[in-house]
Chain A
Amino acid sequence: MAPLWVRSYTATSCIGQGLAPMLESLEQHRSGLKLCDFETVDINTFIGEVDGVDAQRLPDELQAFNCRNTRLAELALRQDGFDETVHGAVGRWGKSRIGVFVGTSTAGILQTELAYRRRDASSGELPDDFLYGPTHNSFSVADYVRRRFGLEGPAVAVSSACASSAKVFGSARRMIEAGVIDAALVGGTDSLCLTTLYGFHSLQLTSPLPCRPFDQARDGISIGEAGAFAWLERMPDSLDADSILLRGVGESSDAYHMSAPHPEGLGARRAMQSALHAAQLEPADIDYINVHGTGTPSNDRSESQAITSVFGPTTPCSSTKGATGHTLGAAGALEAVISALAIQHGLMPGGVHTATIDPTLTAHYIRENRRGTVATVLSNSFGFGGSNCSLIFGAAG
């Protein structure tokens, strides 16, 4: 594929709102996970909650979208001058030549969960103030972003579970290459809700401790929330050497099971190989892998096998979910931003909370931060339904 310029990017998660606090957390090997005290949830698990989401106001004309998920998106869009970048770019490209691609798994379903507690006692009807389209529906956050910036090009939500906001880069790449658009606002937003907390708990996939990816005693995920966005354009004639490029996107399906990964990671392997092929790179060209690394026994085992089968046992890799929690449909975009930070600051963030690396996992998992030149990073995102996506980012110079 023709590389795309990641002109601007930002992320907000429990380890920081915007790039500077997030980088500081990564440098200090800090986790944002805490014992679950979200809403009325009574589950013994840890969560990655973003402070101040409910205090975030939306513009008056977009109040219909008011729900936790959109408030988190708005909070994220306001960091690092990202909203200003978008406004500037709209003037440059024209509002109909920009696409919007936002990943989410549950959008504002919390709004519906809360409305179900307020059903009319006799009719069973939901309360009048509950608005399905701009809150619950998967498109709500993409629609919000489109309206907030007055964009009139193609807009869509990508919702393939935990691969959603990695796959937005693939959809944007195709639309730009096809000439449908000149630039894309991509990203992901998923927020804490009862469906995912109780749902993953029902599958016995939530850990009672902060998640420990690749640890020999790992026993599940910690659910987090995040909003992360990036601005993509075709490569200009010249770029600063430290500019970030999207160099490869690889996608595949497991064709195996709805909620369990392929035991040997065949789908994951195919996604990574396809990303390398798209980027015209060899496995040895990848300096660091930001793994999906959820901390469930089966995910990390299958991913480790897939990584080793493509890269061998020496490429440094780590999961940042011990720090951020698993932010589900926002994880792909959040970890794309972490990959960009890794390149720009020469930092391979060591996996937080992992005490003893599982000796049966052959991938080269790092627990401590490493410094050095990081020119090229591969980031993995896999989801329920066997949806896999690998992204490759690199420095322009």
Chain B
Amino acid sequence: MKLSAYLDGIGVLGPGLANWPECAAVFRGERSYVAAATVLPAPAMLPSAERRRTGRVVKLALAVAMEATSAAAADLSLLASVFSSSGSDGHICHEICQALAQPSREVSPTRFSNSVHNASAGYWNIGTGSMTESNVLCAFDASFVAGLLESMAQSAVDRCSVLLVSYDTEYPPPLHAKRPIPDAFGIAMVFSAEKSPQSIARLELSLTDAVADSLPHAELEALRRSIPAARGLPLLRLLSTRAPGRCVLDYFDVARAEVRVEPCH
């Protein structure tokens, strides 16, 4: 089994990584990595009423989605989407569980609406006005490759363009001790079935028994090991070289994903 698709746009946001060009420059050694907390922009695409309601997870997802779709010059009204995250909004989850542990059990209706795992997809469609489908996934630590499989399969089978957004945010205490994700990190990619002027590379995905690649940079390797979405970093590192090659990404205990990259330029 091999899945293939053209990669037309990339978005990245995480600790010390403000966007894809910066991230690529760090990988190429043109820029030094400076660790810093992830800065999440307010989602300008949303009407102000919706913007006020969005938490960190939605801000993260929309920011990387906007970067990737802008780079791809994608037609948002036709773009299907896959949102894959290892958890929902941890802060909302904490607030709801805390409220439910009190005798009054007063759950905020807005928090409850935003607690669904597909909140980011919902806001993305509200913001873009796109009525195309969003598929919203979770595979715990394997969520990056789960999203990659889903989006590349959809692009290949339905011959369409698909936005992948893989994103994770931290839980506050006390859940943080049980699920110690250190900060917000997201990767977005736009895949198309056909090559276009925007195409960066052709990707080929298959499952493998090989061991997953680690990163030579210690701080980035720490991110890869602690945030599920950052398991996509070896692919970004390969893409930053603009050269053909292959990488192996962590997936399950029983399987990894091999991605072969053939640059288009």
Give the interface of A toward B (CB within 8 A).
Answer: 42, 96, 105, 109, 112-113, 116-117, 119, 124-126, 130-133, 137-140, 142-143, 152-161, 167, 170-171, 174-175, 177-180, 194-195, 198-204, 251-259, 266-267, 270, 383-387
| A178-B3 in contact given A105-B116, A113-B100, A385-B122 (Cβ < 8 Å) | yes
Please determine whether B131 and A202 come into contact, CB atoms closer than 8 angstroms.
no
Q: What CA separation (Å) do A201 and B139 show in the bound complex?
A: 29
B101: CB under 8 A from chain A?
yes
Shortest Cβ distance from residue A33 to the other chain B in the assembled complex, whole angstroms: 22
| A174-B158 in contact given A113-B100, A199-B96 (Cβ < 8 Å) | yes
B114: CB under 8 A from chain A?
yes
Please determine whether B149 and A258 come into contact, CB atoms closer than 8 angstroms.
no
B35: CB under 8 A from chain A?
no
Q: What CA separation (Å) do A143 and B143 show in the bound complex?
A: 12
6 intermolecular pairs with C-beta atoms under 8 Å apart: A132-B178, A159-B118, A159-B136, A198-B105, A199-B112, A252-B132
Q: Please, which residues of chain A bring their CB within 8 A of the CB of B261?
A: none
Please determine whether B115 and A158 come into contact, CB atoms closer than 8 angstroms.
no
Q: Please, which residues of chain B bring their CB within 8 A of the CB of A175?
A: 149-150, 153
Q: What CA separation (Å) do A259 and B116 show in the bound complex?
A: 10
| A157-B139 in contact given A180-B153, A251-B133, A385-B119 (Cβ < 8 Å) | yes
Shortest Cβ distance from residue B51 to the other chain A in the assembled complex, whole angstroms: 13
Please determine whether A113 and B97 come into contact, CB atoms closer than 8 angstroms.
yes
Residue in A137, A167, A194 whose CB lies within 8 Å of B87: A137
The chain B residue sitting closest to A250, CB to CB, is B133
Shortest Cβ distance from residue B75 to the other chain A in the assembled complex, whole angstroms: 15
Q: What CA separation (Å) do A96 and B153 show in the bound complex?
A: 17
Give the interface of B toward A (CB within 8 A).
Answer: 1, 3, 50, 53, 86-88, 93, 96-101, 105-109, 112-119, 121-123, 125-126, 128-140, 142-143, 146, 149-150, 153-154, 156-158, 173-175, 177-179, 207, 252, 254-255
| A383-B117 in contact given A133-B179, A143-B140 (Cβ < 8 Å) | no
| A198-B119 in contact given A137-B86, A167-B135, A180-B3 (Cβ < 8 Å) | no
| A161-B138 in contact given A112-B97, A255-B130 (Cβ < 8 Å) | no
Q: Please, which residues of chain A bring their CB within 8 A of the CB of B132?
A: 252-253
Please determine whether B125 and A159 come into contact, CB atoms closer than 8 angstroms.
no
Q: Please, which residues of chain B bring their CB within 8 A of the CB of A203?
A: 109, 112-113
The chain B residue sitting closest to A253, CB to CB, is B125
Q: Please, which residues of chain A bring their CB within 8 A of the CB of B129?
A: 255
Q: What CA separation (Å) do A335 and B156 show in the bound complex?
A: 29
Q: What CA separation (Å) do A253 and B175 show in the bound complex?
A: 32
The chain B residue sitting closest to A140, CB to CB, is B140
Q: Please, which residues of chain A bring their CB within 8 A of the CB of B153?
A: 174-175, 177-178, 180
The chain B residue sitting closest to A134, CB to CB, is B140
Please determine whether A139 and B140 come into contact, CB atoms closer than 8 angstroms.
yes
Shortest Cβ distance from residue A218 to the other chain B in the assembled complex, whole angstroms: 20
Q: Please, which residues of chain A bring their CB within 8 A of the CB of B130?
A: 253, 255
| A133-B137 in contact given A96-B255, A386-B122 (Cβ < 8 Å) | no
Shortest Cβ distance from residue A181 to the other chain B in the assembled complex, whole angstroms: 8
Please determine whether A116 and B135 come into contact, CB atoms closer than 8 angstroms.
no
Please determine whether A138 and B128 come into contact, CB atoms closer than 8 angstroms.
no
Q: What CA separation (Å) do A133 and B179 show in the bound complex?
A: 8
Residue in B112, B122, B150 whose CB lies within 8 Å of A387: B122
Please determine whether B150 and A174 come into contact, CB atoms closer than 8 angstroms.
yes
Shortest Cβ distance from residue B1 to the other chain A in the assembled complex, whole angstroms: 5
Q: Please, which residues of chain B bring their CB within 8 A of the CB of A204?
A: 109
Given A137-B86, A383-B118, A387-B121, 9 more pairs with CB closer than 8 A: A109-B97, A133-B179, A143-B140, A174-B153, A253-B131, A254-B131, A270-B131, A384-B113, A385-B119
Shortest Cβ distance from residue A168 to the other chain B in the assembled complex, whole angstroms: 10
Shortest Cβ distance from residue A234 to the other chain B in the assembled complex, whole angstroms: 14
Shortest Cβ distance from residue B209 to the other chain A in the assembled complex, whole angstroms: 10
Please determine whether B116 and A174 come into contact, CB atoms closer than 8 angstroms.
no
Please determine whether B179 and A138 come into contact, CB atoms closer than 8 angstroms.
no
Q: Please, which residues of chain A bring their CB within 8 A of the CB of B142?
A: 139, 155
The chain B residue sitting closest to A120, CB to CB, is B174
Residue in A116, A180, A198, A200 whose CB lies within 8 Å of B98: A116
Q: What CA separation (Å) do A199 and B112 show in the bound complex?
A: 5
Q: Please, which residues of chain B bring their CB within 8 A of the CB of A258?
A: 50, 53, 113-114, 119, 122-123, 126
Q: What CA separation (Å) do A162 and B108 show in the bound complex?
A: 20
